[in-house]
Structures are given as C-alpha cells and as structure tokens.
Structure 1
Amino acid sequence: MPSDAAASGFSEPECKAVYRAIFERRDMRHFAGGSVAPEVMRRLLTAAHHAPSVGFMQPWRFVRISDAAVRADLHALVEQERVKTAQALGERQDAFMRLKVEGMRDAAELWAVALADGREAHVFGRRTLPQMDLASAACAIQNLWLAARAEGLGVGWVSLFDPSAVAALLHMPAGAEPIALLCIGPVHAFYEEPMLQKERWAKRCALDDLLFENAWGQALGSEAGAPSGTSTVHTP
C-alpha cells in the first residue's frame, strides 16, 4: 500500500510542470505590449495571496498602475535611481548603463507591491526577525511569478527606486513600504538563461558551494560534517 505522503503527491506530469515553471521562470525586461485578461490577472493575484506568511500576517498589498501619467512618473523615479546606482558601481558604471534594467513602458500591466502599514503589531515569528514580513511578501511575488510563467506571461521585478518617493507618489499610508514594481505581460520569447548571466554581469553559483552541514563552511556530506553514528550523504 502506498504511504499517505506518496498518495498525496502530484502525478509525474504535474510534478514536471511545477519544476518546469521554476526552471523556466525569468526576470523579464523585454515585453511585447498587449494586455492581460482580467480573469488571468485575478488568478495571478490569487496565487500570490496563497503564499505562506510568518504568523499568517499576510503583509502584501498590491497597487495596480493603470494611469499612464502615474506610470510615467514611476518610470522617471526608476531612471533617477538607475543613474545613481551606476555612479555607485564605480568601474562597472558603463557596463551597468548598457543593461536593460526594466520594461515599465512596454509591459501590459504594472503593479506596485508594498508591505502593509501596522506590521509592527505582528510579533509571532518576528520578535527577533522583523524582516520576515519582507520574506513573506517575497513568497507572494514568487507565487505570482511562477503562475505567470505557467500562463505564458513574463514578469520583471524592478527595485531601482527610492521607497519613500514611490510611497508618496502612490499615496501610501505611513508605515507602508513599497518593495517592488512588477512588470507583467506578454513577451516575444523567454530568455534561455537569466539575462544578467547572458550579459556576463553575473552567473549562477554552483549549488554545492552553498550547502553546508552542521556548521557554516563545512561541506554537505563531508566526513567531518556528518554527525557521529550516521553515514555520509553524497549529493549528485
């Protein structure tokens, strides 16, 4: 008889679809205009709203930017920060300025994601780690991102902005904090690899370099890292 855990697992095609969405998700910067049907956008937001959150605090708030003038103002704020970021990069300034870092003018939808005001009232899971509100909201964004990839839509997370300026522009209450401008919509094609890797700005780290056992820097599966009385685990 299969175990309860096995019985509750997805079928092989369903599992492959989940992993495909994970591995083919891209931070998109090139969009094809068009539109996103309201019912599809609702599905993406529902997926976001079903993310886990510490203490079930649900700190995420989403603001749709449908006014062209507001979108233009947000784009101007991003451009200001793009220049400041380039200046802060020193010798990599010119290389950074050649990168396309946002698709706000071409994406079908633009949504601001913010942490809600009043978050300090949520202590469960945050007394020593107050940043778990941000971690929870990031989970919501990832849910939306994976759902969008499954729907054939691109998403680009823009974080080049002054949070206080965006909060003021969108009339957010005191205590609310914008963390993302999400460009969402049809794309001509998904990147075969992360754009910044393709542009040789950075590359994905080797997984084994990020895995430790029992102590920081102790390689996973090493004899020194394995607890007494246990066998060594070798990862492929």
Structure 2
Amino acid sequence: MKGRRFSPDEASLLQEILLHRRDVRGNRFHSDPIPEHSLQMILEAASCAPSVGFSQPWEFVVVTSAQRREAIRACFDRENSKAVELFEGAKAAQYQRLKLDGIVESPLNIAVFYRPHNEPVLGQTSMDEVGRYSVVCAIQNMWLMARSLNIGMGWVSILDPEQVKRILGVPSDRELVGYLCLGYVDEFYSQPELERLQWARRKNLKSVVFRETHNHFDHT
C-alpha cells in the first residue's frame, strides 16, 4: 500500500503525547527563551492542520515585547474581574485563587486569528463556522508539537478580542480565535490542572458516545 505507514510503537507515542498534553498556567513557566527552530516547528505544525476547502484561514502574531504583553495582561485583568461575578459561593472563592494566564510569565505569546475569505470556500457554504474550526485544528497541532518538544502551552480566552486586535495592530476583519502562552516549564502535571483542583471531573467516554442516534439507549 502506498503512502507513509506508521508502526504500533509510533501510534503509541502519539497516544502518549495526547495523554500528556496540558494547558499550562503562569506559575509553571520559566523565562528561558524558546529557540527559533522550535518556534518554527510549532508554526509549521499549525500550517499542516486540516482546513475546510484547503482555505488555510489562519494568521499568527508572535508577541515577545514585554510592553505588548503587559498591555494584553491588563486586558486579561479587566475581563477576569468581570468573570469572577459570574460564579457564586465556593466556586467564586476557588475561581479567585486560580492562576488563569501566563501572559507575562511565559517568554513568548502567539495570537491566532481567523482570516475570512471574500469569496465562497469549498465546504464552507452551509456552515460558515467551519472556517474558524479549521483555525482551532491548527491550534491543536501547535499544542501537540509544543508538548513533544517539552514546551508548555496555555490558551488564554478571558480577553476582549477587539482590544487584543488594537494592541497588536491587527486588521478589523480578522477574528481572534486563540491567545497562546508558550515556554519551558518546571513541571507537567500528570492530570489536567482543573481536574487536580477538583474544579471539574473528566467525563466517562461512554457518556458522550452514541450509536446511530442521540438516544440514551444507543450509548456504545
């Protein structure tokens, strides 16, 4: 059979990377710079992601400037103070103790944008959102490549997208999909941090997989 074939050992290695991928927060990052060749590997992994109609609708802004990262952090702080009010009781108290970003602690940030097309895109004519999903696929590729290089990555979503665009001088038609913090870390937890802190529990696979129809009798 033509085309690259992978061995069971290679499949197991990929599974290991998937199982040990983590969303890294600021209290774990080192300030050591990421080598340029490692950054290129991460960005090239993003460019290999599947995209609807091979549209490749992603753009990346690499941010190392301390001044810009401080401005982004200020944006985070404003939005985070609003978010606290959405939780009550013990959850609100726990939320305030969580470290939810690594914007200034990590040596490098990458803002990932969706660039819409001005003409019809094959496969996107019925579901416009699949263009944005393509960008999310690129982010997942970045996460896995970073983890394989023992580089931590955290996704910060508590941000005002329009403020981020102004700080980074991004054209108005672009849409912020992800703001990522990358750097070497002191530890990769054996479990996701929010699971360790009992903020949420991992769902049982059987509870979310259905056969043929979305019916509780059809669970695998």
List runs of 5+ in structure 2 lacking aligned partners. none
Matches within 5 A, 1:39-50: 39-50=37-48
Aligned to 1:107: 106
Greater RCO, 1 or 2 (C-alpha within 8 Å, sep 6+): 2
List runs of 5+ in structure 1 lacking aligned partners. 222-234
The whole-number CA distance in structure 2 between the counterparts of 1:159 and 1:170 is: 16
Whether the 8 Å contact between 1:57 and 1:122 is mirrored in structure 2 is no
Whether the 8 Å contact between 1:32 and 1:187 is mirrored in structure 2 is yes
Q: Percent identity?
A: 32
Whether the 8 Å contact between 1:211 and 1:219 is mirrored in structure 2 is no
**1:96 matches 2:92:** no
Residue deviations 1:91-147 (CA, integer Å, cap 9, x gap): 32221111110111211211111111x435343222221111111001001101101
Corresponding residue SS for 1:215: coil
The whole-number CA distance in structure 1 between the counterparts of 2:42 and 2:167 is: 25
Equivalent position amino acid for 2:30 in 1: A
Single out whichever of 31-40 and 83-92 deviates more from structure 2.
83-92
Corresponding residue SS for 2:177: strand
The whole-number CA distance in structure 2 between the counterparts of 1:62 and 1:13 is: 33
Whether the 8 Å contact between 1:45 and 1:144 is mirrored in structure 2 is yes
Corresponding residue SS for 2:23: coil
Residue deviations 1:72-103 (CA, integer Å, cap 9, x gap): 00001011111111112233222111111011
**1:19 matches 2:19:** no
Corresponding residue SS for 1:119: coil
Equivalent position amino acid for 1:105 in 2: V
1:12 Cα offset (Å): 2.4
Given the alignment, which residue of 52, 55, 67 partners 2:53? 55
Aligned to 2:194: 196
Corresponding residue SS for 1:81: helix
The whole-number CA distance in structure 1 between the counterparts of 2:82 and 2:57 is: 29
Whether the 8 Å contact between 1:53 and 1:136 is mirrored in structure 2 is yes
Q: Is the radius of gyration larger for structure 1 or structure 2?
A: 1
**1:150 matches 2:158:** no
The whole-number CA distance in structure 2 between the counterparts of 1:212 and 1:120 is: 37
The whole-number CA distance in structure 2 between the counterparts of 1:211 and 1:162 is: 34
Equivalent position amino acid for 1:18 in 2: L
Whether the 8 Å contact between 2:64 and 2:107 is mirrored in structure 1 is no
The whole-number CA distance in structure 2 between the counterparts of 1:218 and 1:42 is: 45
With the length of structure 2 as denominator, give the TM-score of the two structures. 0.93
Corresponding residue SS for 1:79: helix
Aligned to 2:79: 81
Aligned to 2:63: 65
Distance 1:17 1:93, change over 3 A: same
Given the alignment, which residue of 30, 35, 38 partners 1:37? 35
With the length of structure 1 as denominator, give the TM-score of the two structures. 0.87
